[in-house]
Amino acid sequence: MTEPQTVDGQPCAFCNNKTLSLTEHETEVPYFGKIFIFSMTCSSCSYHKADIEAVEKKDPSKYTFEINSEEDMKVRIVKSSEATIKIPHITTITPGPAAQGFVTNVEGILNRVKHQIEEAKENSDDKSDRKKAKNLLKKLQKVMWGQEKLKITVEDPTGNSAIISDKAEISKLKVK
């Protein structure tokens, strides 16, 4: 493990000020291996981008995990900015220009999804959309309490993502 390396005063691609900080940190994730965590943050315009890359080259991968207990909330998830997270009948988090890489756990992913659904519910004028959002939030809460099952899938063409659990099903991702 290394100390984070930071380079300050870089030109920001968005505001052109020399206020961008680049940070790189090497760390070890148990059962996954060494990773590099990269981030860029501009103190002028608040632009931020983060990503994760495995030190060793990995094959495109697909991890599927069934959440069926409160204990499963602690299962670690490594997600690169290239990964897609699928939660059937609830949402799909797709990669794009603003996608972030991060290390979290199942609870962290579900809390992100809850926050998105809550925002959509608050911003919707459609009564049926608000009702759907309310039902999804109830379902997520039951999953988090271990009262309902839910599958979560992480697909990564770079192989830089994982669900770290003996219960996770791992398969090769067919890249188009």
Tens of pLDDT, residue by residue over 12-64, are 999 999 999 999 999 888 777 888 889 999 999 999 998 888 888 889 999 99
Q: Which is nearest to 80 in space by CA: 110, 49, 106?
A: 49
**Backbone φ and ψ of 148, nearest 5°:** -145, 150
Instruction: Kindly provide the b/e burial profile for residues 64-94, where b requires at least 16 CB atoms within 10 angstroms of the residue's own CB.
Output: bbebeeeebbebbbbbbbbbbbbbeebeebe
CATH 2.60.120.1040 domain locations along the chain: 58-176
> How far is it, in rounded angstroms, from Cα 40 to Cα 168?
31
Q: Which CATH number fits domain 1-56: 3.40.50, 1.20.1070, 1.10.3470, 2.20.25?
A: 2.20.25
CA triple 123-80-109, angle to 5 deg: 45
Number of neighbours of residue 175 by Cβ within 10 angstroms: 10
What would the pLDDT profile of 67-120 be if each residue is shown by its tens digit? 999 999 999 999 988 999 999 989 988 887 778 888 899 999 999 999 999 998
Structure tokens at 45: 């315009």
The CATH number of 58-176 is: 2.60.120.1040
pTM: 0.79
**Backbone φ and ψ of 105, nearest 5°:** -135, 175
